[in-house]
């Protein structure tokens, strides 16, 4: 049996996120896409030491998220730029795939896709 396994599936992990990150926010950490489940930890939550700057992040599944722009088809790419999701690739990185359509800005279910997936 291997003794070097860290996390079996590594789909729910603690990652460093930007200040002001709240539960339910889409985030991109390096090449990892996810949705926060907790707020960013502060120094007071860690006994007054250094601020951890981390939150629990789900790297899998689908979530109802705000997406700017029209989504014409299920499966259309959704991009992330500066913590916001958009239907256009300009200035963003692939975040996931739409699981519903919308005529303009709104909340739709988005399937998280990891880089290279």
Quote the pLDDT of residue 53. 87
Q: How far apart are CA 24 and CA 39, in angstroms?
A: 9
pLDDT (tens digit, 9 = 90+) per residue, 41-79?
865 555 554 457 899 999 999 999 999 999 999 999 999
pTM of the model: 0.88
pLDDT (tens digit, 9 = 90+) per residue, 84-105?
999 999 999 999 999 999 999 9
Q: Is 34 exposed, middle or buried (0-12, 13-18, 19+ CB in 10 A)?
A: buried
Per-residue burial over 65-104, b if 16 or more Cβ lie within 10 Å, else e, is bebebebeeeebebbbbeeebbbeeeebebbbbbbbeeee
């Amino acid at each position: 049996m291997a003794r070097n396994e860290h996390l079996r599936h590594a789909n729910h992990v603690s990652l460093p996120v930007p200040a002001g990150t709240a539960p339910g926010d889409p985030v991109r950490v390096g090449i990892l896409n996810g949705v926060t489940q907790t707020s960013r930890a502060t120094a007071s939550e860690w006994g007054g030491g250094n601020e951890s700057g981390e939150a629990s992040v789900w790297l899998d599944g689908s979530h109802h998220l705000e997406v700017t722009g029209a989504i014409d088809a299920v499966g259309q790419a959704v991009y992330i730029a500066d913590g916001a999701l958009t239907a256009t690739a300009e200035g963003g990185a692939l975040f996931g795939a739409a699981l519903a359509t919308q005529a303009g800005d709104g909340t739709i279910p988005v399937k998280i896709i990891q880089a290279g997936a």
